[in-house]
Amino acid sequence: MIYIYCDESCHLENDLSNVMVLGGILVPELTKQAVFADIRKIKEKHDLSSWFEIKWTKVSQSKLNFYNELVEYFFNNQYLSFRGIIMKGKNQLDHERYGNTYDQWYYKMYYYLLDPIIFPEENYRVFIDIKDTNGGKKVNKLHEVLSNSKYDFSQEVIKDINQIHSHESEIMQLCDLFIGALSYYHRGFYLSGKNKGKQALISNIIKWTDRNLNENTPVREEKFNLFNWMPRMV
């Protein structure tokens, strides 16, 4: 069984951001608790409570060593992998023209995030950060669409998709760190140097990935998989 913990950045329709990022971290069920314990030990090593919530918004120069160690832990842990999808042109979307709503588009993007990393020979449980109080029906629809795309009509491959709060999972918090970094980078803040801590952390991520964050990775890239999406302009 593989668990996928998902989070999003700049997901609101009218949040003045032209970029939205979705991401998911995969971990085998058998190593999940060990990862939780390892991350809590890293927190305590840096004089933080084991229940301190890892968040991109908390990244600063003073906590840079802590966040750099988390990034190092992810890239050195053979059981953890990440996929992110960066959607640009969010404020140019014409939902009415294509018979969609913003929420329908949002969950369609979740489909694009998850579909390439789910394989019929495996079993999965997916956890999504709670977006709002009305997400239950949409999550059920996402489960149905993903399952049908894999001919998994009895939903044996994708066991379930659940909504949880990010503070309930260190792995989801780590996902928040990566999608926050991708959002910051693609919104043009990385080069501004306004937040030296965030700039340095992104530079460290780039070093570990050894690639340009503007580029798509091969679809089968396992460790740090990225896809940049743009709306069709007709």
Here the CATH number for the domain that contains residue 24 is 3.30.420
Going by C-alpha positions, the residue among 74, 99, 116, 81 that lies closest to residue 229 is 116
Report the domain count for the chain.
1
User: Where does the pLDDT of residue 150 fall: very low under 50, low under 70, confident under 90, or very high at 90 and above?
Assistant: confident
Q: Indicate if the pLDDT at residue 90 is higher than 70.
A: no
| Per-residue pLDDT at 234 | 43
Q: What is the DSSP string of 89-158?
A: -GGG--TTTTT--HHHHHHHHHHHHHGGG--TTS-EEEEEE---TT-HHHHHHHHHHHHHHTT-TT-SSE
Query: Does a structural domain hold residue 47?
Result: yes
Query: Which position has the higher pLDDT, 11 or 35?
Result: 35
CB-CB contact of 193 with 63 (8 Å): no
- CB-based contacts of 200, cutoff 8 Å, min separation 6: 61, 64, 68
Query: Does a structural domain hold residue 26?
Result: yes
User: Where does the pLDDT of residue 44 fall: very low under 50, low under 70, confident under 90, or very high at 90 and above?
Assistant: very high
pLDDT tens string 93-137 = 554 555 567 677 777 888 889 999 999 899 999 999 876 656 677
Domain range for 42: 2-229
Query: Does a structural domain hold residue 234?
Result: no
| Whole-angstrom distance, CA of residue 38 vs CA of residue 211 | 27
